[in-house]
Amino acid sequence: MSSSSLPVKTKIVFFDVKDWELPYIKKLRAGYDIQTVSAGLSSENVEKYKDAEIISVFISSDLSKEIVRLLPKLKYIATRSTGYDHVDIKYCASKKITVSNVPTYGDNTVAEHAMALILALTRRLPESIDRVLKGDFFPDGLTGIDLKGKIIGVIGTGHIGKNVIQMAKGFGMKILAFDLYPDEKYASENGFMYSPLEYVLSRADIVTLHVPYNSGTRHMINRENIGKMKRGVIIVNTARGGLIETDALFDAVKTGHVGGVGLDVLEGEKFLSEEVELLYNDKCSGVDFKIALENHALARFPNVIITPHNAFNSAEALQRIIKTTIENIDAYKSGKMINLV
Ligand code: NAI
């Protein structure tokens, strides 16, 4: 057979790839010209991949209109994440580019991380660990609070929020919930009530966020409603940083109105790096320096815990993510698409 009669292989590029993912990627059906890249897709490298017909990315890749339009052959994006706010879905739809995600890899995983943040704050783990590391084994001044009997306000009762509810029930907490689309059947089976957002925020001892980030949820937690929360409230965010108005949160922690904060995600987190790097980085157009500084400053309060967008990062969840992504791509190729967004 001459080379000109060989079937043309579909060019697929995997971005943000870690070494351990390679054996899974090799399990893809035949018929692909596969390229793997450890970096994310960005304005700096997009030019190199303009032949790509399929791409698979993680949230650290930038799939804004400005970048997607530089991939003229692109037909399908398989994001290896649940959230897809890093993809300009509207623009992709206008260009007939199909997008899939991994809808349910980390329901328990992210919920467990939210509970870890809650427990670390209520039992003052960072201060306790710090004290012991300094050779001081006395618990004076490290009094925490019980979870039993406290009210947890769960904002967003989808896959992750429902797992948080189960775990909170295990701790004997009282549940209040808010969701744009309440699951009343689930609520009555699990003995809790849905209420309007403002009511949940004003009654909760602990507020935990599990909604997607979009124009409707941006700054859902803001200066006005933080002011109406209970003094000493604990706020936990494992969803997306932009859900909280950082400036208002920073002020509320400073005045002591908010008693504890656990953040796995930060507003503007893609611009976060060492402070000095931030100052000298010539790619920092678009950086909101005030938010970046407040993020750094927040991390230094003893009652604030920040983790580096790590809630998804359990061994089991990572395997589920890549396995489902490979299934998504195979399904796309066979014409029976699954997990579309
Ligand atoms: P889901 O889609 O199962 O649940 C989201 C819930 O939010 C739904 O019940 C929906 O009705 C509700 N909702 C949507 N818009 C709303 C609004 N404006 N107001 C009130 N409720 C609204 O999503 P899932 O799997 O529970 O994930 C939630 C979020 O967690 C994701 O969108 C993602 O951004 C984030 N996430 C973070 C991870 C991390 O590593 N930190 C990992 C995985 C997800």
Say how far apart CA 332 and CA 325 lie, in whole Å: 10
State the pLDDT at residue 158. 97
Long-range contacts of range 154-157, CB-CB < 8 Å, 24 or more positions apart?
154/178, 154/208, 154/210, 155/179, 155/197, 155/200, 155/207, 155/208, 155/209, 155/210, 155/211, 155/220, 156/209, 156/210, 156/211, 156/212, 156/239, 157/182, 157/183, 157/186, 157/194, 157/210
Superfamily covering domain 107-311: NAD(P)-binding Rossmann-like Domain (3.40.50.720)
- Name residues of the chain where pLDDT drops below 70: 1-7, 273-286
State the closest ligand 1 atom to the C-alpha of 162, by its place in the atom list counted from 1.
26
pTM of the model: 0.90
Instruction: Please tell me the chain's helix, strand, coil percentages from 3-state DSSP, rounded to the nearest 5.
Output: 40, 15, 45
DSSP 4: G
State the closest ligand 1 atom to the C-alpha of 157, by its place in the atom list counted from 1.
9
Which residue, among 260, 255, 312, has the nearest Cα to 101 in the 3D structure?
312
The helix (run of H) or strand (run of E) holding residue 221 is none
- With a 6 Å cutoff on the Cβ, whether 110 touches ligand 1 is yes
Say how far apart CA 299 and CA 86 lie, in whole Å: 25
- With a 6 Å cutoff on the Cβ, whether 267 touches ligand 1 is no
State the pLDDT at residue 5. 56
What positions carry a catalytic annotation? 240, 269, 309
State the pLDDT at residue 113. 98
- With a 6 Å cutoff on the Cβ, whether 161 touches ligand 1 is yes
The helix (run of H) or strand (run of E) holding residue 210 is none
Return the residue whose CA atom lies nearest to atom 32 of ligand 1.
212
Say how far apart CA 132 and CA 287 lie, in whole Å: 38
SS3 (DSSP) at 158: coil
State the pLDDT at residue 2. 43
Return the residue whose CA atom lies nearest to atom 8 of ligand 1.
158
- With a 6 Å cutoff on the Cβ, whether 217 touches ligand 1 is yes
Quote the ligand 1 centre to 154 CA distance (angstroms): 11
| Domain range list for the chain | 3-105+316-334, 107-311
Say how far apart CA 28 and CA 245 lie, in whole Å: 42
CATH, domain 3-105+316-334, list 3.90.330.10, 3.40.50.720, 3.40.50.2300, 3.50.50.60: 3.40.50.720
Identify any residues that bridge with 306 across adjacent strands, giving them in sequence order: 263
Contact 61, 77 (CB under 8 A): no
